[in-house]
Chains A and B, each alone.
Chain A
Amino acid sequence: MKERLQELEQEALNQVEQAKTLADLDKVRVAFLGKKGPITEVLRGMGKLSAEERPVIGELANKVRSAITTELEQKKAKLELAVLDQQLKAETIDVTLPGRPVPVGGPHLLTSVVREIEDLFIGMGFEVREGPEVETDYYNFEALNLPKDHPARDTQDSFYITEELLLRTQTSPVQARTMNEYKGNQSIKMICPGKVYRRDTDDATHSHQFTQVEGLYVDKNVRMSDLKGVLNQFVKHFFGEEREIRFRPSFFPFTEPSVEIDISCKLCHGKGCSVCKQTGWIEILGGGMVHPEVLRMGGYDPEVYSGFAFGMGPERIAMLKYGVDDIRHFYTNDIRFLKQYHQA
Chain B
Amino acid sequence: MLVSLNWLKQYVDLADQTAEQLADKITKTGIEVEGVTNIAEPSSNVVVGYVESCEKHPNADKLNLCKVDVGSETLQIVCGAPNVAAGQKVAVAKPGAILPGNFKIKPVKLRDVESNGMICSLQELGLSEPYIPKEVADGIFVFPEEVEVGQPVTGYLNLDDRVLELGLTPNRSDALSMLGVAYEVGAILNQKVKWPSEVVETSSEKAADYISVKVEDRESNPYYGALIIKDIEVGPAPLWIRNYLIAAGIRPINNVVDITNYVLLEYGQPLHAFDYDKFGSKEVVVRRARANETIVTLDDETRALTPEHLIITNGSVPTAIAGVMGGADSEVTETTKTVLLETAYFDGKRVRKAIKDHNLRSESSTRFEKGVDPNRVKRAGFRAAQLLAQYANGTVLEGVVEFDQLDRTERKVEITTSRINARLGTKISNDEIANILAKLAFEYQQSGEFFTITVPTRRQDIAIFEDILEEVARIYGYDKLAYTLPEGAQQAGHLTKRQALKRYVKQYLEGAGLSEALTYSLTTAERAEMLVSPEISEKAKVPIRLSMPMSEEHSTLRLSILPELLATLSYNHARKQSHLGYYEMGSVFVSNEEQISVQPEEKLRVSGAITGKWLLHPWQQEAKDVDFFLVKGILEGLFARLGFNVSYQQTEIAHMHPGRTAQLYLNKLPVGFIGQIHPQLQKAFDLKETYVFDLDLDYLFTCCHVEPSFNKIPRYPTMTRDIALVVDQQIPAAEIETTIKQSAGALLKSVQVFDLYQGEHLPEGKKSLAFNLVYFDPDRTLKDEEVEASYQAILTAVEKTHQAELRG
Contacts of A50 in B (CB 8 A): none
**A221–B550 CB distance below 8 A:** no
> Which residue from chain A places its CB closest to the CB of B31 in the assembled complex?
A249
Whether, in the assembled complex, B751 has its beta carbon less than 8 Å from a beta carbon of chain A, the answer is no
Contacts of B715 in A (CB 8 A): none
Whether, in the assembled complex, B620 has its beta carbon less than 8 Å from a beta carbon of chain A, the answer is yes
**A248–B28 CB distance below 8 A:** yes
A228-262 vs B: 1/0 string, CB under 8 Å? 11101100000000000011111100001111100
Residue of A107, A228, A249 ringed by the most chain B CB atoms within 10 A: A249
Contacts of B466 in A (CB 8 A): 256-257, 289, 291-292
Whether, in the assembled complex, A101 has its beta carbon less than 8 Å from a beta carbon of chain B, the answer is yes
Q: Could you tell me which residues of chain A, from 104 to 125, have a CB within 8 Å of some CB in chain B?
A: 104-108, 110-111, 115, 118, 121-125
Q: Could you tell me which residues of chain B, from 577 to 630, have a CB within 8 Å of some CB in chain A?
A: 577, 580-583, 586-587, 589, 596-600, 602, 614-621
Beyond A115-B503, A127-B494, is A151–B352 a contact (Cβ under 8 Å)? Answer: yes
Of the candidates B484, B491, B581, which one forms a contact with A105 in the assembled complex, judged by CB atoms under 8 Å apart? B581
Of the candidates B170, B488, B589, which one forms a contact with A134 in the assembled complex, judged by CB atoms under 8 Å apart? B589
Alpha-carbon distance A107/B473, docked complex (angstroms): 42
**A197–B522 CB distance below 8 A:** yes
> Which residue from chain B places its CB closest to the CB of A217 in the assembled complex?
B486
Whether, in the assembled complex, A152 has its beta carbon less than 8 Å from a beta carbon of chain B, the answer is yes
**B581–A248 CB distance below 8 A:** no
Whether, in the assembled complex, A132 has its beta carbon less than 8 Å from a beta carbon of chain B, the answer is yes
Contacts of B489 in A (CB 8 A): 187, 219
Q: Would you give the shortest CB distance from B611 to chain A, in whole angstroms?
A: 12
> Which residue from chain B places its CB closest to the CB of A194 in the assembled complex?
B587
Alpha-carbon distance A258/B470, docked complex (angstroms): 8
Contacts of A220 in B (CB 8 A): 488
Contacts of B104 in A (CB 8 A): none
Beyond A125-B493, A217-B486, is A334–B521 a contact (Cβ under 8 Å)? Answer: no
**B515–A338 CB distance below 8 A:** yes
Alpha-carbon distance A226/B507, docked complex (angstroms): 35
> Which residue from chain A places its CB closest to the CB of B546 in the assembled complex?
A159
Contacts of A250 in B (CB 8 A): 30, 32, 169
Of the candidates A111, A128, A187, A291, which one forms a contact with B488 in the assembled complex, judged by CB atoms under 8 Å apart? A187
**A161–B547 CB distance below 8 A:** yes
Whether, in the assembled complex, B684 has its beta carbon less than 8 Å from a beta carbon of chain A, the answer is no
Contacts of B369 in A (CB 8 A): 151
Beyond A155-B170, A220-B488, A251-B172, is A225–B425 a contact (Cβ under 8 Å)? Answer: yes
Contacts of B34 in A (CB 8 A): 277
Contacts of A277 in B (CB 8 A): 34-35
> Which residue from chain A places its CB closest to the CB of B421 in the assembled complex?
A223
Q: Would you give the shortest CB distance from A280 to chain B, in whole angstroms?
A: 10
Whether, in the assembled complex, B145 has its beta carbon less than 8 Å from a beta carbon of chain A, the answer is no
Beyond A107-B510, A136-B599, is A126–B493 a contact (Cβ under 8 Å)? Answer: yes
**A124–B493 CB distance below 8 A:** yes
Alpha-carbon distance A103/B634, docked complex (angstroms): 12
Q: Would you give the shortest CB distance from B572 to chain A, in whole angstroms?
A: 5
Whether, in the assembled complex, A5 has its beta carbon less than 8 Å from a beta carbon of chain B, the answer is no
B462-485 vs A: 1/0 string, CB under 8 Å? 001111011001100011011111
Q: Would you give the shortest CB distance from B174 to chain A, in whole angstroms?
A: 12
**A331–B519 CB distance below 8 A:** yes
Beyond A160-B548, A247-B479, is A224–B493 a contact (Cβ under 8 Å)? Answer: no
Alpha-carbon distance A149/B530, docked complex (angstroms): 39
**B596–A165 CB distance below 8 A:** yes
Contacts of B32 in A (CB 8 A): 248, 250, 260
Interface size range of chain B in the complex? 35 or more
> Which residue from chain A places its CB closest to the CB of B172 in the assembled complex?
A251
**A223–B423 CB distance below 8 A:** yes
Contacts of B28 in A (CB 8 A): 246, 248
Contacts of B621 in A (CB 8 A): 100
Whether, in the assembled complex, B206 has its beta carbon less than 8 Å from a beta carbon of chain A, the answer is no
Whether, in the assembled complex, B729 has its beta carbon less than 8 Å from a beta carbon of chain A, the answer is no
Q: Would you give the shortest CB distance from A243 to chain B, in whole angstroms?
A: 14
Contacts of A123 in B (CB 8 A): 493
Q: Could you tell me which residues of chain B, from 436 to 484, have a CB within 8 Å of some CB in chain A?
A: 464-467, 469-470, 473-474, 478-479, 481-484
Beyond A100-B621, A103-B581, A197-B521, is A222–B599 a contact (Cβ under 8 Å)? Answer: no
> Which residue from chain A places its CB closest to the CB of B634 in the assembled complex?
A103
Of the candidates B422, B478, B518, B616, which one forms a contact with A249 in the assembled complex, judged by CB atoms under 8 Å apart? B478
Whether, in the assembled complex, B705 has its beta carbon less than 8 Å from a beta carbon of chain A, the answer is no
Q: Would you give the shortest CB distance from A123 to chain B, in whole angstroms?
A: 7
Contacts of B317 in A (CB 8 A): none
In this complex, how many residues of chain A approach chain B with their Cβ under 8 Å: the count is 88
Whether, in the assembled complex, B102 has its beta carbon less than 8 Å from a beta carbon of chain A, the answer is no
Beyond A104-B510, A125-B491, is A331–B518 a contact (Cβ under 8 Å)? Answer: yes
**B600–A134 CB distance below 8 A:** yes
Whether, in the assembled complex, A133 has its beta carbon less than 8 Å from a beta carbon of chain B, the answer is yes
**B484–A257 CB distance below 8 A:** no
> Which residue from chain A places its CB closest to the CB of B24 in the assembled complex?
A279
> Which residue from chain A places its CB closest to the CB of B600 in the assembled complex?
A134
Beyond A251-B172, A336-B577, is A208–B478 a contact (Cβ under 8 Å)? Answer: no
**A125–B492 CB distance below 8 A:** yes
Q: Would you give the shortest CB distance from A86 to chain B, in whole angstroms?
A: 25
Of the candidates B522, B598, B599, which one forms a contact with A209 in the assembled complex, judged by CB atoms under 8 Å apart? B522
Contacts of B77 in A (CB 8 A): none
> Which residue from chain B places its CB closest to the CB of A124 in the assembled complex?
B493
Contacts of B580 in A (CB 8 A): 335
> Which residue from chain A places its CB closest to the CB of B575 in the assembled complex?
A334
Q: Could you tell me which residues of chain B, from 541 to 585, have a CB within 8 Å of some CB in chain A?
A: 544-550, 554, 557, 568, 571-572, 575, 577, 580-583
**B517–A108 CB distance below 8 A:** yes
Q: Would you give the shortest CB distance from B579 to chain A, in whole angstroms?
A: 9
Whether, in the assembled complex, A342 has its beta carbon less than 8 Å from a beta carbon of chain B, the answer is yes
Contacts of A208 in B (CB 8 A): 520, 522, 550, 554
**B496–A128 CB distance below 8 A:** yes
Q: Could you tell me which residues of chain B, from 325 to 371, have a CB within 8 Å of some CB in chain A?
A: 348-349, 352, 369-370
Whether, in the assembled complex, A204 has its beta carbon less than 8 Å from a beta carbon of chain B, the answer is no
> Which residue from chain B places its CB closest to the CB of A209 in the assembled complex?
B520
**A165–B486 CB distance below 8 A:** no
Alpha-carbon distance A133/B514, docked complex (angstroms): 26
A145-165 vs B: 1/0 string, CB under 8 Å? 000010110010001111011
Q: Could you tell me which residues of chain B, from 147 to 190, have a CB within 8 Å of some CB in chain A?
A: 169-172
Whether, in the assembled complex, A195 has its beta carbon less than 8 Å from a beta carbon of chain B, the answer is yes
**A257–B517 CB distance below 8 A:** no
A177-193 vs B: 1/0 string, CB under 8 Å? 00000000001010000
**B486–A222 CB distance below 8 A:** yes
Whether, in the assembled complex, B720 has its beta carbon less than 8 Å from a beta carbon of chain A, the answer is no
Contacts of A110 in B (CB 8 A): 518
Whether, in the assembled complex, B490 has its beta carbon less than 8 Å from a beta carbon of chain A, the answer is yes
**Given A151-B370, A201-B550, A277-B34: 4 more A-B contacts, CB < 8 Å:** A104-B510, A105-B514, A229-B486, A258-B470
B contacts, CB < 8 Å to A: 27-30, 32, 34-35, 169-172, 348-349, 352, 369-370, 422-426, 464-467, 469-470, 473-474, 478-479, 481-496, 499, 503, 506-507, 509-522, 544-550, 554, 557, 568, 571-572, 575, 577, 580-583, 586-587, 589, 596-600, 602, 614-621
Q: 8 A-B residue contacts at CB 8 Å?
A: A151-B170, A151-B348, A223-B423, A230-B485, A247-B481, A248-B29, A292-B465, A335-B515
The 6 A-B pairs with the shortest beta carbon distances in the complex, nearest first, are A225-B425, A103-B513, A251-B169, A257-B470, A223-B425, A249-B30
